Amino acid sequence: MKKVIITIIFTILLTTNSFAQWTKGKGNGYYKLSAWYLNYDQHFTDTGAKDPNTTRTQFNTNIYAEYGIIDKLDVIAYVPFFSSVSENNVVSGTTGDIIENGESLSSFGDIDFGVRYALYKKGKWAADIKLLLGLPTGNETGGTDGSFQTGDGEFNQFLSSSLGYATSINNLPFYAKSYLGYNNRSEGFSDEFRTGLEAGINLFDTKFWLITRINVVKSLKNGTLNAISGNGSIFANNIEYSSFGFEGAYYITKKLGVSLSFDSAFSGRIIAASPSFSGGIFLDIK
């Protein structure tokens, strides 16, 4: 269990984006208050196999925001103002005695802050470039063994570019988007290549967005930290995964709405092998 590592930085961020997928425009914004939950008792090892582990729970409450400074430039922020990790007691299967006491930790998480710039927008096509900075504001050495963290203690820079297409299918608004990105990690962590696809369709008289996505993370394995133990960090070295997810967002009014999402890795290395869930309330100002 002490060697089980999971990742939450960009998995969370990618599931909290607004649904227009383009730059917001001057004075417009998207703001979301949400909670994210993961409970797992198995993980992908460094070889990609699945192994059991003592049940752990990750939970965080966060604010995600996008705001258009000018028509072509947005600022983006992700603030996990409450993050917690807990582990169940380890109980003997023969005597029922507690072999190892469970533990929990709650603190502030790692903040992500960045900008998105519209490179191209004409007709149904749009392209942008985005830079996100991962700030080490969480706890990197929590718990008695150091494995109960809400941050990784490193400053990373994620640069990505996306290409999107918006149209309609049977008079229903539809978009598709792909992205490519490079995550530069410091403090001995390996850099990462990230890519993904996302598509969404608007139903029920434009009140409901149904979204599906696929994300892939590959490690360049150019870091110096131990990929297995990573000192128990929840943001380990050499994490890799392929995941799929779904999200539903319902507009109660033209600006106010609620959303629910599900994401799960179907293959990976050094990552939890269980789905995560997120729900929240958002304000979309256009």
Tokens in use for 187? 């403090």
Q: What is the pLDDT of residues 137-152, one digit of tens each?
A: 998 888 887 778 788 8
Q: Under 8 Å CB-to-CB from 274, ≥6 apart: which residues?
A: 38, 39, 40, 41, 42, 264
> Could you tell me if 57 and 36 are in contact, meaning their C-beta atoms sit under 8 angstroms apart?
no
pLDDT of residue 224: 87
Backbone angles phi, psi at 156, to 5 degrees: -115, 160
Scan for tokens 């004409």, then name that residue: 122
Predicted local confidence at residue 229, as pLDDT: 45
Q: Are 133 and 100 in contact (CB under 8 A)?
A: no
Taking alpha carbons only, the member of 33, 30, 34, 40 closest to residue 6 is 40
Task: Name the 3-class secondary structure at 218.
Answer: strand
CA 78 to each of CA 13, 137, 177, 241, 269: distance values in angstroms, whole numbers, following the listed order: 7, 12, 21, 22, 26
In the structure encoding, which two tokens stand for residue 135, read together?
Answer: 């700030």
Enter the tokens of residue 12.
Answer: 């969370």
Q: What angle do CA 198, 72, 201 make, to 5 degrees?
A: 25
Are 195 and 180 contacting, i.e. CB atoms less than 8 angstroms apart? yes
Predicted confidence at residue 2, as pLDDT, reads 41
d(Cα 28, Cα 72) in Å, to the nearest integer?
11
Give residue 147's pLDDT. Answer: 77
Q: What is the pLDDT of residues 153-200, one digit of tens each?
A: 899 999 999 999 999 999 999 999 999 999 999 999 999 999 999 999
**What single-letter DSSP state applies at residue 248?**
E
- Report residue 98's pLDDT band, with 50, 70 and 90 as the boundaries: confident
The structure's pTM equals: 0.88
Label residue 18 by pLDDT band (50, 70, 90).
low
Chain-wide mean pLDDT for the chain? 87
pLDDT at 246 exceeding the cut of 70: yes
Given the structure tokens 């830079």, which residue do they identify? 131
Q: Measured between alpha carbons, how far is 54 from 91 in angstroms, rounded to an integer?
A: 10
DSSP track, 21-43 = -S---TT-EEEEEEEEEEEEEEE
Q: Are the C-beta atoms of 251 and 257 separated by less than 8 Å?
A: yes
- Cα distance between residue 40 and residue 86, in whole Å: 11
Q: What is the pLDDT of residue 193?
A: 97
**pLDDT confidence band for 13 (50 / 70 / 90):** very low
Give the confidence band of 91 by pLDDT, cuts at 50, 70, 90.
confident
Q: Find out whether 274 and 38 touch, Cβ atoms under 8 Å.
A: yes
CB 284 within 8 A of CB 253: no
The pLDDT, as a whole number, for residue 234 is 52
C-alpha to C-alpha distance for 134 and 114, rounded to whole angstroms = 9
Domains of the chain: 9-87+99-285 (2.40.160.40)
